[in-house]
A and B are shown apart, each in its own frame.
Chain A
Amino acid sequence: MLDIVQDVSLKVKYQEALVIKGASGSGKTTLLGLMAGLDQISSGDIELLGNSLGDKNEEQRSAIRSGKVGFVFQSFQLVQGATALQNVMLPLELRGDSDAYDRARHSLQQVGLELKKNTLIDHLSGGEQQRVSIARAFAVQPKILFADEPTGNLDAKTGRQIADLMFRLRDQSGTTLVLVTHETELAERGDRQILIDSGCLIPLDPTQNTRLGQS
């Protein structure tokens, strides 16, 4: 077993945009996954939206996430063979929303893809696919959104547009955002940055991009 982080404590405030930075292999994605309840922690505890995840199995953690947590992935993770609209409808229908269709359409409208709602995912560009992914994440009106390198697979210009879109929607909805990135420009848009390094979490000054000291 590998210790990703040791003796650390981290609190994410309501409606805050926290950015986790770190070198490749430093454990950024693992930390994000653990915080989101996607994996089991080996020791200690994580509290997500007031629920302790430490002693919960996947089924219970899934119930905690349901309808309250959204994700944006580096590789989009969309259902191939389905349309943009259907991809956005999926998490809504999984939690039993009866107006999934209308809400998904609205969400796609917000990301500027209303006209491409019936286009198959395979026929969309990388940037468009990530927009669908963001629409899907915001469609469930999450309390907290976890984004893992959301611009990592995109060119700089598209990446910037995606970042704008994500932060705009987050500002509109007041969703808490936990973002993992190694891109400085994107990281600087967060309210707070922390660096993960050798299992330690180090706060950074968002304006100076310098270490503030261990938290």
Chain B
Amino acid sequence: MLKIKSSGIQSYWLMLVATVITVSIVSSSQLLTQRISLLLDRQASELLAADLVVVSGEPISSEYQQQAEKIGLDVANIISFRTAIFIDDSPQLVAIKAVDDAYPLRGHLEISKDYVGDKLKVGQGPKVGEIWVDPKLSQLMLGPVTLGSAQFKSDWILTFEPDRGGGSVFNLSPRILMNIDDLTSTGLIVPGSRAKYRLLFSGEPEKINEFIEWIKPNLKAAESLQDLENARPEMRQALDRTRQFFALSIVLTLVIAMVAIAITARHTANQEAPKVAMLRAFGISQTRLMRFYAEQLVKVWVIATVFGLVIGWFSQYPLQWLLDTWFGKELPAISTVMPYTNAAIVGFISLIGFSLPFLFNATATPPMQVFRPSHSNRSIRRNIVIIVTAIFSVFLVLIVLVQSSKLAIATLVMILAVALVLPAIFYLMINSLLFTGRRQFWLRQYLLSRLKTKTRGALAVMSGFCLALLAILLIGVVKDELLNSWQKQLPDEIPNYFLINLRTDQVPAIEHFLQQRDIASSESYPLIRARLTHINEESVQDIEFMDPRGANLLKRTFNISYSDQLPDDNEVISGQWVANDSATPEWSIESGVAKNLGLKLGDILAFDIAGESIKAPITSIRTVLWENFKPNFYLMSNRQLLENQPQTWLLGALIKEEKKAELKQLIINFPSVTLLDITELMSRIRGIVSRATSALEFFFLFAMASAFIVLMAAIQTGRREREQESSLLRALSANIGQLYKVHIFEFTLMGILIGFFAALFASIAGWVISAQFFDIEYHFSSSIWLYGILSSTLVLTTVGTLVSRKVYHVSPMKTLRS
């Protein structure tokens, strides 16, 4: 019986290299994104002082703590409540927060001896017998402080607590931080006291997820779960965008790697065709050949996976070093095998999906080719099989790697459009160029006919390279556009302090105070505390919300406001902004809350405000830019609806370093006003944006490396044909200058066409992605065209000509021997 003998892995080495690169890209990028993401989450978690918080109006069951500790999470306890203390015989409402020694689980506290003095970062709250006080209460530092029936030493001012406000930064009384072990001795908390209990958790993401799964069904009615998603809208948007940037970059990088596999698979299949024709002539069945190639591919996959995973694992270290420098902090380790399994799966799908159809196609090579080689053995049906399998493979890979199905589908559509449309465009362009100037063959017509010929697969290679360049342009140039727009939303000159708890009559005086001292301030807004009671006359207690965020929202008190003008960076996306001087009650609602609560225009919302029920229809839905650090509100109304309700005011002020001394005078002049320093919060968000940018630069390097492989694969796959052509031209007496000319013009022509279409498709894709996924206005940029056409022409011409120059030395004898 005739046996098919493998010609060894060397026949598949290009495919092997491309698969090794794919596996390395997936494993290292997954490892690093998970670690970067974990670092960003942790830094963001610092604003919650934990990764997860259970909030309740009643003491929280110790069972939660036990279960969390059993899983391996760190736990901290907080009890907060309001009470009045006497300062110089005047009562002052204060917010007391009692914390245990584990608090904060994430982030740090800042204390100082003097409000404008040096700040000290600490990782633990006050010791037993000690309290730290709000800057506004600094006069307490003069002597012992009595809280209930206990006395405390007060030596430090609390200048920063990571979770201040716990979701709302505006609704604060001056803070006193104390040790939870002192609480009993104060006697301030007795059964029935109004207090907020918080149980904080931190740990590995998998453990947190495990705990969430456990606790969700066990939560009681009065308890709610807070994580960054629902606690800090400004941070949530920043993190969401960062994650989407990451996902997009990985997908695009992977697209390039898959293009490399596809190009090399096609090349391998073409090389195998003569061998297959011979084997089939000897009577080997197509089924046996298919089985043989399937086995070969599995061998390639196994070898590539081993090498790819090893490279992926090792590449962490230099990259980690680089990232540590960028991030200024060591990346946290992760203990999951998912990046490795994902990499192996993606490697398998990519290799099999892109190679098998080509090789199966090769097995159908008619034995007749033994006698007369021809390259037209592909039927339309087989081409369709190749395309469909490739599409399916890309989709599977996207499903494995991208959590957002919307992004996966959008990327797939983009890839499909480019992969299907480009070869047709290139074909039509080359044909129309071929149509003119037929009386002269050399050099233009010669080049075009070479590009058009099937055997060289130039159209496929050009389309592949164009797709790779498109991905690079999207990651590189469009990323810059997107990040610039994003960063523009966080200008330097925005308020860094919120002045809250202003009485209505104090507002003009405070505005005047700030104006006199040349301190810029935002518009002032009233704050009214309200609780949602009814939606369309139905009690919210009776409504079952599909979205758990909706249910959570009902447990909180809303800070609602009114204004004649639409606040800065708000955009009405549906309906009309509340009319000036309108006597008709109207609500304007933020789009996220509307979505979570399933609200639409015309729905009637009723709020309980200080015991009075206020109801009105929703007349507009707004988007709010939470990261702009200006006063932002979920709910706003027209002036007439809320003007007479009990309210305090707030305004934002930009207090620069040299003006900070004025703060003391402000506190003295307006003792009831609370100052909230949001500098730290702002720098956190800015940090996330800039770190996300750095991480993306890193993916850009990956994308460049993959694109280089595509380039090399593209050049390599055409090398045999180039050798043959050079050898023929040499036999026909062409000189070396003419050979150089052929390659320089060929690569230049390819470069211009590829660059042009890559820039065109990148502009369209950039616009779609900006609008659909990042909610950012996209400006069509000329730089994308400049970079696209210049880089593709220069790189292709230079690298292509340099790599191809070896063929100039191929003896023309090759022509005789071929």
Q: Which A residues fall within an 8 A CB radius of B?
A: 29-30, 32-33, 38-40, 58-59, 62-63, 65-67, 69, 71, 73, 75, 77, 79-82, 85-86, 89-91, 93-95, 100-101, 118, 122, 126, 136, 148, 153
Q: Which B residues fall within an 8 A CB radius of A?
A: 372, 376, 438-442, 445-446, 449-455, 725, 728-736, 738, 809, 811-813, 815-818
> Please, which residues of chain B bring their CB within 8 A of the CB of A77?
728, 731, 815, 818
Nearest A residue to B374, CB-CB: A122
In the complex, the answer to whether A38 meets B813 with C-beta atoms within 8 Å is yes
In the complex, the answer to whether A93 meets B440 with C-beta atoms within 8 Å is yes
In the complex, the answer to whether A94 meets B442 with C-beta atoms within 8 Å is yes
> Please, which residues of chain B bring their CB within 8 A of the CB of A33?
812-813, 816
In the complex, the answer to whether B732 meets A71 with C-beta atoms within 8 Å is yes
In the complex, the answer to whether B442 meets A93 with C-beta atoms within 8 Å is yes
- State the CA gap A49–B445 with chains docked (Å): 33
Nearest A residue to B453, CB-CB: A81
Q: Which of B446, B452, B733 makes the CB contact (< 8 A) with A86?
A: B446
In the complex, the answer to whether A62 meets B450 with C-beta atoms within 8 Å is no
In the complex, the answer to whether B735 meets A59 with C-beta atoms within 8 Å is yes
In the complex, the answer to whether A32 meets B441 with C-beta atoms within 8 Å is no
> Please, which residues of chain B bring their CB within 8 A of the CB of A82?
441, 445-446, 449
> Please, which residues of chain A bring their CB within 8 A of the CB of B440?
89, 93, 100-101
- State the CA gap A65–B376 with chains docked (Å): 35
In the complex, the answer to whether B441 meets A73 with C-beta atoms within 8 Å is no
Nearest B residue to A88, CB-CB: B441
Q: Which of B441, B452, B733, B818 makes the CB contact (< 8 A) with A62?
A: B733
In the complex, the answer to whether A90 meets B730 with C-beta atoms within 8 Å is no
10 closest Cβ pairs, A-B complex: A81-B453, A93-B442, A66-B733, A81-B449, A86-B441, A38-B812, A82-B449, A39-B813, A91-B732, A89-B441
In the complex, the answer to whether B735 meets A79 with C-beta atoms within 8 Å is no
Shortest C-beta distance, B273 to chain A (Å), equals: 15
Nearest A residue to B729, CB-CB: A94
Nearest B residue to A32, CB-CB: B816
Listed A/B pairs (20) with beta-carbon separation below 8 Å? A29-B816, A33-B813, A33-B816, A38-B730, A38-B815, A58-B812, A59-B735, A59-B736, A63-B733, A69-B733, A73-B815, A73-B816, A75-B818, A81-B451, A82-B446, A86-B441, A93-B440, A93-B441, A93-B442, A101-B439
> Please, which residues of chain B bring their CB within 8 A of the CB of A30?
813
- State the CA gap A4–B10 with chains docked (Å): 31
Most buried by B among A71, A81, A94: A81
Shortest C-beta distance, A6 to chain B (Å), equals: 19
Given contacts A33-B813, A81-B452, A94-B738, whether A58 and B730 have CB atoms under 8 Å apart is yes
- State the CA gap A173–B446 with chains docked (Å): 28
In the complex, the answer to whether B811 meets A38 with C-beta atoms within 8 Å is yes
Most buried by B among A33, A39, A100: A33
Q: Which of B439, B450, B733 makes the CB contact (< 8 A) with A94?
A: B733
> Please, which residues of chain B bring their CB within 8 A of the CB of A79?
446, 449-450, 725, 728
Interface SS of chain B: helix, strand, loop or mixed? helix
Q: Given A67-B733, A81-B453, output 15 extra A-B contacts at Cβ < 8 Å.
A: A29-B816, A38-B811, A58-B811, A58-B812, A62-B730, A62-B734, A62-B735, A69-B733, A77-B815, A79-B449, A80-B449, A80-B453, A80-B454, A81-B449, A122-B453
- State the CA gap A36–B427 with chains docked (Å): 39
In the complex, the answer to whether A63 meets B735 with C-beta atoms within 8 Å is yes
Shortest C-beta distance, A156 to chain B (Å), equals: 15
In the complex, the answer to whether B732 meets A39 with C-beta atoms within 8 Å is no
Most buried by A among B439, B730, B731, B812: B731
In the complex, the answer to whether B453 meets A95 with C-beta atoms within 8 Å is no
- State the CA gap A100–B442 with chains docked (Å): 10
Nearest A residue to B814, CB-CB: A38
In the complex, the answer to whether B812 meets A39 with C-beta atoms within 8 Å is yes
- State the CA gap A90–B733 with chains docked (Å): 10
In the complex, the answer to whether A89 meets B816 with C-beta atoms within 8 Å is no
- State the CA gap A33–B812 with chains docked (Å): 8
- State the CA gap A59–B735 with chains docked (Å): 6
> Please, which residues of chain A bring their CB within 8 A of the CB of B445?
82, 86
> Please, which residues of chain B bring their CB within 8 A of the CB of A148?
816
Q: Which of B372, B728, B735 makes the CB contact (< 8 A) with A126?
A: B372
- State the CA gap A153–B372 with chains docked (Å): 8
- State the CA gap A33–B817 with chains docked (Å): 10
Shortest C-beta distance, A177 to chain B (Å), equals: 16
Shortest C-beta distance, A93 to chain B (Å), equals: 4
Shortest C-beta distance, A119 to chain B (Å), equals: 13
> Please, which residues of chain B bring their CB within 8 A of the CB of A73?
815-816
Shortest C-beta distance, B434 to chain A (Å), equals: 9
Shortest C-beta distance, B374 to chain A (Å), equals: 8
Nearest B residue to A60, CB-CB: B735
Shortest C-beta distance, B415 to chain A (Å), equals: 28
Shortest C-beta distance, B439 to chain A (Å), equals: 5
Shortest C-beta distance, B405 to chain A (Å), equals: 43
Given contacts A58-B811, A73-B816, A82-B446, whether A94 and B732 have CB atoms under 8 Å apart is yes
Nearest A residue to B738, CB-CB: A94
> Please, which residues of chain A bring their CB within 8 A of the CB of B817?
29
> Please, which residues of chain A bring their CB within 8 A of the CB of B376?
122
- State the CA gap A65–B734 with chains docked (Å): 10
> Please, which residues of chain B bring their CB within 8 A of the CB of A67?
733
In the complex, the answer to whether A71 meets B811 with C-beta atoms within 8 Å is no
- State the CA gap A89–B445 with chains docked (Å): 11
- State the CA gap A39–B738 with chains docked (Å): 19
In the complex, the answer to whether A71 meets B731 with C-beta atoms within 8 Å is yes
Shortest C-beta distance, B194 to chain A (Å), equals: 85
Q: Which of A38, A94, A100, A101 makes the CB contact (< 8 A) with B734?
A: A94
> Please, which residues of chain B bring their CB within 8 A of the CB of A118?
438
In the complex, the answer to whether B736 meets A38 with C-beta atoms within 8 Å is no
- State the CA gap A44–B738 with chains docked (Å): 30
- State the CA gap A118–B434 with chains docked (Å): 12
Shortest C-beta distance, B462 to chain A (Å), equals: 15
- State the CA gap A59–B739 with chains docked (Å): 11
Shortest C-beta distance, A112 to chain B (Å), equals: 21
Nearest B residue to A67, CB-CB: B733
- State the CA gap A190–B738 with chains docked (Å): 36
In the complex, the answer to whether B441 meets A91 with C-beta atoms within 8 Å is no
- State the CA gap A100–B445 with chains docked (Å): 14
- State the CA gap A90–B440 with chains docked (Å): 9
Most buried by A among B449, B455, B725: B449
Shortest C-beta distance, B727 to chain A (Å), equals: 9
Shortest C-beta distance, A124 to chain B (Å), equals: 12
- State the CA gap A82–B450 with chains docked (Å): 8
In the complex, the answer to whether B815 meets A90 with C-beta atoms within 8 Å is no
